[in-house]
Every structure is written in structure tokens, then in C-alpha cells.
Amino acid sequence: MTDSLSDAKALDTKQTMAALGVLFASVCFGIVPYFSRNLTDQGLAAHSVAFYRYVITAVILLPAFLSQLKAWRELVWGLCAGAGMGLGWIGYVRAVETIPASTVGVLYMTYPVFTVVIAWAMFADPPSRRALLASGLIFLAAVIAGNPAAVPSQDLPALIFSLAAPLGFGFGICVLVHRLSRIPPLARIASVSLGSVLALSPLVATSTAAEILPADASTWIMILGIAVVSALVPQLIYTVSSPIIGASRTAVIGSVELPTMFLVGMFAFGETLTIAQLSACALVIIAIVLTRSRATRNVTTNIARNP
């Protein structure tokens, strides 16, 4: 009896620590706009910011990638997913330069819609009714947050281009779920990060020195922040923690990412939240809570988040 109580207490402690891990990781993902906008304000090109975010993870986890060379088909899929995510993230960085972080954040959170569509079209994985309902709510949130009344007409092209980020992430989720389940989690992160670096390298190589080289020590600190604080560390914590607490709690706790983006916009950039943005945020969080289904379980137990 004592052993049973001890085991139950140990399990409860483990789940509590895992829940705190997912919470911490999601907050780290949510502060990405702070780093990206500050780096572009320092003159770095959007593709350089994206490159720096992925390159440290790719280098540190390269041994995990090399250890799985026999599974070359899976690694190729991971490289392709990383390329799509890295190139798509350029649109996110450019949008955050001029558009409120809260608005861009809502648009980024449309990635479950792209995930459902791509999984259905490319991998013959039909969505559940709950997934379709959640996708409809997220689409409505995107329309509310990105409507012409809320976003100036001159910023609409950048806002539309920012959809490349959730599109790339949605593709990455599908690949991780349907093609990379046979390799260890660290190798999955490594292949995706390396794919992003390889795809962005030609753009970096053809850029001017001012577009890719930090001008001072404070900019280097920002680069370390976006690479380590908002990428490497939370990815590893999320990968370890999410399977322990399961899809339902991971999805709900992970929804703190969007409010974090809102807070970054308010306190770091002096943005004022509108009723439309708050309504869109509420719809996205409701949709995330609803997606406690098979599709969500697969995603949250097989992917390290990489916005």
C-alpha cells in the first residue's frame, strides 16, 4: 500500500514538472516577436534572423542526425520539412517588423488549419469533426484579426505573406507525425533544424555584410536569445514534457503562447489591444481546447514546437 502511494506521488510530481515544462516552453515560443523585431530593427535581414534561430540547434544536434543516417528516407523528409519551415518563417519575421505582434500571432496560430488540410491531401489522414470545428474557429479568428478594418491596406501584403509561416509549420507537423516517427526525437529536431539552415544558407550567402553580421555585442546577445531561449531549450523541454502529460493538457497549456505574444506586443512595443484582437485570441484558445483528439495527440507527442 505504501509503495502504491509512493508511486502515485512520484507520478503526480513527474506530471506536475512536465506541465510546468510545457508552460515554460510555450512562453519561450511566445516571446519570439521580441527577439525578431529587435534584430530586424538592428538592420539584420529577415532571412538572417531565421538562419540564426535554427543554426545553433542544428550544430548542437548534428551528432543525433548523423547517428540516424541509415534512416535516410526519414532524414530527407525532415530536411524538406525544415526547409519549408525556415523559408516560411521569413514571412513571419517581415510581418512583425510593421504589423502588431498580436495580429501576426493570431495569423501564425492558423497552423492547425494548414495541418488538417495538408494531412488530408498529402497523407490521406481525414480530419475528425472536432478538428474541422476547431479549424473553422481558427479561420474565423484569422478573418477577424486580419480584416482591412484592423490592418492598414499597405500592410496587407506583409500580413498575407506571413501565412507562409503557419503553412510551413503545418507541413512540418504532418511530416513529423507521418514520416519521422521511426527516428528518435532529437534526430527529428536535428533534421528539421538542419533543413532550415540549408534552405536559408543561399540567401545568407548572397546578402550584404550589414544584413547578416551583428553590429555590436547587444545584437549578438539577441541572437543567442532567439536561438537558445526561444528555440533550442524550449524545443528540448517540450519534446520531453509533452508525452508525459498527454495531448489534452499539452494543447491547453500550450495555448499560453498566443497571450504571451499579446503581452510582448503590449509591454515591449507599446501596442494597444483591440476588441478584434482579443476576440480572435479567445477563438484560437477555444479551438485549441477543442482539439483534444487523435490528431492533436499525434502532434503533441511527436513534435518539438518550432514557430
Residue 4 lies in a domain: no
| 10-residue mean pLDDT series, the chain (307 residues) | 64 83 91 94 94 95 96 95 94 89 85 86 85 84 74 81 90 85 89 95 94 92 95 88 71 80 90 84 82 44 40
Supply the pLDDT for residue 5.
Answer: 63
**Does residue 28 fall inside a structural domain?**
yes
Domain count, the chain: 1
CA dist., res. 203 & res. 183, Å (int)? 30
Residue 234 located in a structural domain: yes
**Residue appearing with cell numbers 514538472:** 17
Distances (CA, A) of 46 to 103, 169, 203: 18, 17, 10
Rounded to 5°, angle at Cα 26 from 56 and 91: 60
Q: Quick check: is 233 in a domain? A: yes
Calpha distance 102→257 (Å, rounded): 11
pLDDT at 286: 86
d(CA 11, CA 213): 47
Q: Is residue 162 part of a domain?
A: yes
pLDDT of residue 295: 41
pTM: 0.84
Residue 7, domain member (yes or no): no
Q: What residue has cell string 536559408?
A: 200
What local confidence, expressed as pLDDT, does residue 281 receive? 85
Domain assignment present for residue 282? The answer is yes
Torsion, CA 143, CA 145, CA 147, CA 153, rounded to 10:
-140
Look at residue 211 and tell me if it is in a domain: yes
Name the residue range of residue 289's domain. 18-302
Place of cell 484560437: 284
CB 141 within 8 A of CB 280: yes
> What does the pLDDT read at residue 302?
38
